[in-house]
Structure 1
Amino acid sequence: MSPRTGRDLDFPTWPQYDGGEYTGLVRALEQGQWWRMGGGEVDAFEREFGDYHGAPHTLAVTNGTHALELGLEVLGVGPGTEVIVPAFTFISSSQAVQRLGAVAVPVDVTPDTYCLDPVAVEAAIGPRTRAIMPVHMAGQFCDMDALAKIADESAVPLIQDAAHAHGARWQGRRVGELGSIATFSFQNGKLMTAGEGGAVLFPDDATSAAGFLRHNCGRPRADRGYFHRTSGSNFRMNEFSAAVLRAQLSRLDAQIAVREERAPLLADLLAAIPGVVPQARDPRCDRKPHYMAMFRLPGIGEHRRNALVDALVEEGIPAFAAFRAIHRTDAFWETGAPEESVEDVARRCPNAEAISTDCVWLHHRVLLGSEQQIHDVAAVLADVVGRV
């Protein structure tokens, strides 16, 4: 409830669960084996999640950051290599690169979709570039046609960071049907969650086999003699997380349908507020799951933007400041940074600079609310914009 206006802003809670999660947890408990090598929940979840996304191979892992690390490692990313990442993204996109000893090269995003700019990507490719990482921001696909063309011509593979894009489609194709490795997160706020967790979609047998070995400490599935064939780590998902995620997946379609219905209404209402510019949608993204409802207030500045977010939260709206540009964090420069200064990167990435200071996002549970609540959100935002 908004304390100023009395509007009903009691949105649906998140995470959501019902008897499906309870049943799954008991099923995992009673099978007598609680890790993936002896139980059946992780195997079943991999099949179901892979089928849902059109992927020939799926591997469930401990979290979304590990999913990125694993996918990058399979592509040969390591010391002496570089990976192109968006300058505007959550820090895990770059840290996964840097944890492998490689250099993360930030490039700019488009000012309307907040997704990787293909022109900037092409300009950044060099002799050490081993991968290009498009991040599907808030469920909005990057320009996969342009990026696929660049990848083909440069022989530099794509790895999709699809942490926001569960169930998304690009011109009728699902994430797993685009021919590249893709990674997902099941962290607590994501569109489906087990608190933590991740998944990697592989396009072929070879990358899938390499991924399984490396996520299992280099050990083959049927090994009994400790013949560890590669380096790796323990990125295995446990049976309880997989059981919860199977239930979460079962309701994802219905939730996306509600968000797809509410999102255009919210975007239209926000666009009618002077100074507010909602995230654009590329029409080729014909199904957007709306991990976040994002909008910009160009020119507002970081201080006023943060004050606006605080005011929205006080009114009962789950609002957040947008990600800080990765080069504006101390973490980015600790290891695996390019040989540039902060200001050098900032000059190359003006859109990321601006978005990180003037963008706000609303939790996707807002879009699971009623149509009236969507109108109420817009009315509260209009009031807050007028007084902050």
Structure 2
Amino acid sequence: MGHFTVPAWPRPAPNALRNLQAVLESGRWSLPGPWQGHASAEARFAAHFADFLGAPHCVPTTNGSSALVVAMEALDVGVGDEVIVPGLTWVANASTVLAVNATPVMVDIDPSTLCASPTAIEAAVTERTRAIVVVHLFSSVVDLDAVLAIGERHGIPVIEDCSHAHGASWRGRRVGTWGTVGTFSMQEKKLLTSGEGGAVVCRDPDLADRMFQLRSDGRRLAARPVEGESELVADCSVAGTNYCMSELCAAVLDAQLEALPEQNLRRAENAATVDKLLQELPGLAPVRALPSVTERTYYQYAVRIDREAFGGVTAETVSRALAAETGLPFQTPYPPMYRHPLHRPRTKRRFLLVGRDPSRLDGPAGGLPETERAHREVLTLHHSVLLAPAGAFETLPAAIEKLQQQAGSLRAVESAR
């Protein structure tokens, strides 16, 4: 197979430069800047993103991590509390819990979706559980019916982390609008991006007001803004932090949002093509979405391998060999959270507070078997690959068959590492 040319990402949407130029010449580059007699770029993006999701309220933030912090602070998560998080996800899902002085409780995944297992979530609930954070991972959506039922049964709010799922839908409604709060990241690799950025969405107007203040140093929008003066006023009911999105990021996101539906459609079409190409091969099984997922998005295309078909080696060895053979940037999933090199809670004294058992910061004592297995058996491809022209993947099966035939060489490579 000839080497694959991966489409560039990020790529500017057609109106991105126009939007940026308007902000650059506006005299207002940040939300606290002087009001110019019209809605800020941030307010316009918030309205458009809320409309896209079908969410009554959207509050932009600096990034996805600050969105999670704002969501948890708004729900009054703090010292002595526990927050349930998946064991397979980016490290911020644990570090943000620690940042609000609560304890992340890592749970195992459902092997069919790679998302948090509802059974594991239920088993992890204690009298200290203050929130459940679920992540719609890679190209899947967690079993929202089961998770929301757990939350309702125990009176625990559910936070949907949709950083991988801009535009995905469950039973005809966008993810992020099912839980108490939905959070999004717009970091450079995401489906919707301005380099950095984030957002929180919800249905409760009082919760939205609280989240707005929490990310605006406690300030609210003035009822009657004065041109040339800041639109934010110190009319606060809660102490906040400055997590405001810049006007430049908001301008880019507003343009990128216009391009998102067509890009998501293109990714889904190419993912279906890859599914068909792989279905006849032994030893590979694309990760499927649950039947209730009515619109699927692909932050990463994920496929599980039968290691025996590749000589018993791990997904890491297969991913490196496939990347060398094809030019496709195959990777393995995140390592389990408790083994992630960036999960280092003991390096910050502020995470070791009275009322918290320090040993619990390191994750479950017995590990998480399905999370560990996914790291050994799953291959992923970044969504930019799925923006390639039709027909770009036709020779992928031959490359995979070649590796399977060279299983002995794969074993030797793995043994040498």
Whether TM exceeds 0.5 here: the answer is: yes
C-alpha separation in 2, matches of 1:341 and 1:220: 38
Structure 1 position 92, deviation (Å)? 1.0
Whole-Å Cα distance in 2 between the matches of residues 344 and 257 of structure 1?
A: 38
2:202 pairs with 1:202: yes
Superimposed CA distance per residue, residues 320-347 of structure 1 (whole angstroms, 9 cap, x where no aligned partner): 2210100113525534786667998263
Taking the TM superposition and a 5 Å limit, the aligned residue runs for 1:106-255 are: 106-222=106-222, 226=234, 229-255=237-263
Cross-structure match for 2:298: 290
**In the alignment, what sits opposite 2:63?**
63
Cα pair 2:218 2:234 within 8 Å, conserved: no
Contact 1:139 1:166 in 2 (8 A): no
Given candidates 5, 25, 49, the residue that maps to 1:30 is 25
Shift of 1:256: 1.1
| CA–CA separation in structure 1 for the residues paired with 2:299 and 2:22 | 30
State the Cα deviation string for residues 5-24 of structure 1 (Å, max 9, x = none). 325x2232111114411101
Structure 1 residues 357 and 333, CA gap change in structure 2 (3 angstroms): farther
User: Cα distance, 1:212 vs. partner?
Assistant: 0.7
Aligned residue among 382, 389, 399 for 1:370: 389
Amino acid paired to 2:339 = R
Residue 10 of structure 1 pairs with residue 18 of structure 2: no
**SS of corresponding position for 2:217:** coil
Does the CA-based 8 Å contact 1:168-1:174 persist in structure 2?
Answer: yes
* Bigger radius of gyration among the two: 2
Query: What do the CA deviations read for 1:129-185 (whole angstroms, capped 9, x no partner)?
Result: 000111001141100001111111100010000000100100101124425200011
Cα distance 1:268–1:56, how it changes in 2: closer, same or farther (>3 A)? same
Q: Give the corresponding residue for 1:327.
A: 338
Question: When the two structures are aligned, how many residues end up with a matched partner?
Answer: 383
**For residue 55 of structure 2, what is the amino acid of its counterpart?**
A
C-alpha contact (below 8 Å) 1:67/1:198 kept by paired residues: yes
Q: Aligned-residue CA RMSD in angstroms?
A: 2.4
With 174-183 and 328-337 compared, the bigger mean Cα shift is at 328-337
Maintained 8 Å contact 1:105/1:338: no
**More moved, 293-302 vs 325-334:** 293-302
Name the aligned partner's letter for residue 273 of structure 1.
Answer: L
Equivalence for 1:305: 315
Matched ranges for 1:348-359 at <5 A: 349-359=368-378
Q: 1:316 to 1:33 in 2, by over 3 A?
A: same
Residue 101 of structure 1 is matched in structure 2 by: 101
**Of 368-377 and 64-73, the range deviating more from structure 2:** 368-377
| Residue 381 (structure 1) shift | 3.4
SS at match of 1:319: coil
Q: In structure 2, how many angstroms separate the alpha carbons of the residues matched to 1:302 and 1:43?
A: 53
Q: Secondary structure at the match of 2:5?
A: coil
Q: Which TM-score applies when normalising by structure 1?
A: 0.92
Q: What secondary structure is seen at the aligned counterpart in 2 of 1:320? A: coil
Q: 2:134 is paired with a residue of what secondary structure?
A: coil
**Residue pair 1:346, 1:353 contacting (<8 A) in 2 also:** no
- Counterpart in 1 of 2:402? 383
Residue type of the partner of 1:34? W
Letter in 2 for 1:294: A
Q: Give, in angstroms, the shift of residue 268 of structure 1.
A: 3.1
Alpha-carbon separation, structure 2, partners of 1:155 and 1:98: 22
Alpha carbons of 1:144 and 1:106: their partners in 2 closer, same or farther (altered >3 Å)? same
How many percent identity over aligned positions? 34
Q: Structure 2 vs 1, CA of residues 356 and 168 (structure 1 numbering), >3 Å: closer, same or farther?
A: same
| CA 1:30–1:43: 2 relative to 1, 3 Å | same
Give, in angstroms, the shift of residue 87 of structure 1. 0.7
Unaligned runs of 5+ in 2: 223-230, 411-417
Is residue 2:72 matched to residue 1:72? yes
The question of whether the paired residues in 2 share the 8 Å contact of 1:54 and 1:176 is answered with no
